[in-house]
Structure 1
Amino acid sequence: MSVANLLDPITAEGGATRFENLDNWLQGRTLYGGASALIAYTAAVRAFSDLPPLRAAQIAFVAPMTEDAELRREIVRQGRNVAQVRSEIWCEGKCALTAFWLFGTGREANAVHPAAPVADWPGSPDEAELAMTDKGPTFIQNNFEIKRAQDMRGPGDPVVRRWARLTQRDGLDPVSELILLGDVLPPGAMRAMKRQGPISSINWSFNLLETAPTTRDGWWLSENASQHADDGYSSERLRLWNADGKQVLDGMQCVAVFG
């Protein structure tokens, strides 16, 4: 199932929506978080087509998403420069995902502070080794190409860094691409786990540093780093850079670590 097919059922009217053949986007018993977040974002922008550029988002993954869903969205407030929109996915009468999107018109800058360049530059993705070939979750095998971007393997510092790109991205705008791709890696806490066990994203918040991000050949450098892990949860920092090392997204996530 292509990205276009995933989004085709979403209309400006919202409401009851059926998504066919979601198997290619599954992560365990639910939809991959980036895919469900993109559905909620697309529902918002198709309903309200005159929104300014997306600046930030807060997304809560509440329950598994099924093929039959109800898409809800509303403008919470729209001011002169900023619009705040809530969109939700409901399944079987219960909220499966709730998201809060912040759209903002650009203004004359009163503060300019570029993000720091990426540390420990791994080199060009063209020279990187393929990773996760014929293994990993269904959604990765069917929709992404992953390459190594760090020497470390196995246990160690709780950081996972990889090059990632969509295998099919034709017709996808760059912001939607980042939403779909931003949650693609396992948490950095994976490297600190005492034994293998299931993991699950609970939420995801991010700020876009570029409203129209660009890269080369679809490659983005993705990093998940655990800032603290205990009691079955990990606080993760998620970042994305383009193929030239320019940061385009800065985020945080709470992950449940089972086992």
Structure 2
Amino acid sequence: MSLSGLYAQIQQSEWVDIPEGWLQGRTIYGGLVAAMLMQKAIAVVADNNKGLLSASVTFVGPVQLGRARLSAEVLRAGKSVTTLEVRLWQDDAVQTILLASFGTQRDSAIQVNQERAAPDYPAAGELQIAQHHPLAPECFKQMQMVWAEGKYPCSASAQPDFGGWFRFEPKLHDNRDMTAADLMAAFDMWPPGVLPMYKTIAPASSLTWNVTMVHPLRSKLQDWFKYKVFTDYAGHGYSTEYAHLWDAEGRLIAISRQVVTVFA
């Protein structure tokens, strides 16, 4: 099932069949889960004039391949901003929660342009697309990823963090206008910033994920994006990091902050 087919199912029914090809170990890749919740939120808001402002995802428990139920509650629908909560259920238990705010652009006398500039990487076509390692999660096949700085995961690096280019795999995803749900599916594909420090393959998973939108999306699904992650702190089995996402024109699209559980 394509992402478009999955989104159509979410539009039409409370129940959804999670498609194959998105496993991250024995569970479903968190970015796809977040995308499903975001698509449900978009369907409930049902207002093209209200774009995504911010979203917070809590990964309560592992989501398995199979059927899931999505429920949504509008917490407040104001003139400018609508805030709602969406939950994913499996086996009568909540596994993931999304809290999202959508809003219209408003006139304001306040204008600040201090967003972080996009890194000056070589063009994606000049670098090597990372090959899918046999032991890497299945979901990585959904994307093309190009490291432009930093080390690969599990390379025993003395330092964390990396950056590069990425996009949806053109062989698997038809080109169309990108949505906020697509952004969630793509943005979380990069591994945690501490993974280059791993000496052997071991798990790491997002616990909480906050995304703030900056400039509106105006990209196609197969367009390249730039990504860079920075780890603030890691210890006692957890790390906290933030990341920036730019489009191919160097516009800052979104900022992410995550708390990650570390099993190494």
Counterpart code for 2:10: I
- Describe the superposition over 1:10-65 as per-residue Cα deviations: whole angstroms up to 9, x where unpaired: 135x53x1415x33011112211111001001112112312611111000111122
The 3 A distance-change label for structure 1 pair 194 and 140 is closer
Q: Aligned-residue CA RMSD in angstroms?
A: 2.1
Corresponding position of 1:5: 5
Alpha-carbon distance, 1:241 to partner: 1.0
Higher mean displacement: 220-229 or 128-137: 128-137
Residue in 2 aligned with 1:123? 122
Residues 177 and 221 of structure 2 are in contact (CA less than 8 Å); yes or no, is this contact kept in structure 1? no
State how many pairs are aligned: 254
Structure 1, gaps ≥5 residues long: none
Decide whether the 8 Å contact of 2:37 with 2:86 is kept in 1: yes
Q: Secondary structure at the match of 2:255?
A: strand
What per-residue deviation string (whole Å, max 9, x for no partner) do you get for residues 151-174 of structure 1? 645303211212110021434533
* Superposed CA offset, 1:209-252 (max 9, x none): 12234379510112232110000000011211112322111110
Q: Structure 2 CA distance, aligned partners of 1:160 and 1:124?
A: 16
Q: Secondary structure at the match of 2:183?
A: helix
2:38 corresponds to: 41
Cα distance, 1:69 vs structure 2: 1.3
What does residue 221 of structure 1 align with?
226
- Name the structure 2 match of 1:156: 158
d(CA) in 1 for partners of 2:234 and 2:110? 34
In structure 2, do the counterparts of structure 1 residues 162 and 132 end up closer, same or farther at CA, with 3 Å as the change threshold?
Answer: farther
1:9 Cα deviation (Å)? 1.9
Alignment of 1:86-125 (within 5 A): 86-114=85-113, 115-119=115-119, 121-125=120-124
Equivalent residue, structure 1, for 2:78: 79
User: How many Å separate the matches in 2 of 1:172 and 1:36?
Assistant: 20
Partner of 2:21, secondary structure, is helix
Runs of 4+ in 1 over 4 A off after TM superposition: none
Mapping for residues 59-74 of structure 1, pairs under 5 Å: 59-66=57-64, 67-74=66-73
Aligned to 1:241: 246
Residue identity (%): 25
* Structure 1 position 54 matched with structure 2 position 59: no
Structure-2-length-normalised TM-score: 0.88
Aligned pairs for 1:134-213 (under 5 A) are 134-135=133-134, 136-141=136-141, 143-150=142-149, 152-153=151-152, 154=155, 155-167=157-169, 168-171=173-176, 173-193=178-198, 195-213=200-218
Kindly state the Cα deviation for residue 195 of structure 1 after the two structures are TM-superposed: 4.6
For structure 2, the 5+ residue unaligned runs are: none
**Separation in structure 2 between the aligned mates of residue 4 and residue 82 of structure 1, nearest angstrom:** 26
Deviations along 1:63-103, whole A, 9 cap, x unmatched?
12232211100110111211101111011000011000111
